Chains A and B, each alone.
Chain A
């Protein structure tokens, strides 16, 4: 099992550009999450999904979009990148039966200039 994988590892964007952060898990987990981590702020939930076709907003959803067409994939879309979106982004997943334990990917470091 590769667990939770994220691509790319690093990316630099210009203001106004768009991109998609990829997240894939091979553990057949129902629940998937996107967090952003800013220095001194901990992790904040952006969006989450309880299964294919179902997504919901987290604490900081503005400026982001998600989709969940398969159990394995949960991409995060930035449409008009802003400097405030400079952060490290983590994807996580969990079993429906054990949603209390989340497994995190290695993260994507995004810089918007």
Chain B
């Protein structure tokens, strides 16, 4: 079964708006939570990542919020741009287990100009 549950499956946002993607996990041994961005016909690329010792990490317009007690984390895309239109995957891994990634199902984000 999916170890990381991701929602929504897809979302449409206007240019300049905020996109929010949520993920939940059950395995408390997970200690690394990356987000990957994938454009059509390309492989995924690491976007931003967080470890459970911090509650938030920001890189430019992308922010990860992490709630350890709720076992949830989310990606916020601020001031969404048409170039952000892509599929976003959350993932989780365990450092002591060779960082093997368990991926969420993915969210397709469409930013309308």
Query: A residues bordering B, Cβ < 8 Å?
Result: 4, 31, 33, 40-45, 48, 50, 58-59, 90, 92, 94, 99-107
Contact of A100 among B6, B32, B43 (CB under 8 A): B32
Q: Is B53's CB within 8 Å of the partner chain A?
A: no
Residues of chain B within 8 A of A33, CB atoms compared: 100
**Chain B hits for A45, CB < 8 A:** 100-102
Residues in A whose Cβ lies below 8 Å from that of B25: none
CA distance A94 to B105 in the complex (A): 22
Residue of B nearest to A56 (CB): B98
Kindly provide the distance from the CB of B85 to the nearest chain A CB, expressed in whole angstroms: 18
- Which listed residue, A44, A90, A100, touches B44 by the CB 8 Å rule? A90
* Among B6, B32, B103, residue most surrounded by chain A Cβ atoms (within 10 Å): B103
What does the 1/0 interface line of B78-113 toward A look like (CB < 8 Å)?
Answer: 000000000001000101001111111110000000
B41 at the interface (CB under 8 A from A): yes
Instruction: List 12 interface pairs A-B (beta carbons < 8 Å), by A numbering.
Output: A31-B98, A40-B106, A42-B106, A48-B98, A90-B43, A92-B43, A99-B95, A100-B34, A100-B99, A102-B101, A103-B45, A104-B36
Mark B31-72 against chain A: 1 for CB-CB distance below 8 A, else 0: 010101000011111100100000000000000000000000
**CB of A108 to closest CB in B, whole Å:** 10
Cβ 8 A contact of A43, one of B34, B45, B103? B103
B46, closest chain A residue (CB): A101
A105 and B43 in contact (CB under 8 A), knowing A42-B6, A42-B89, A44-B103?
yes
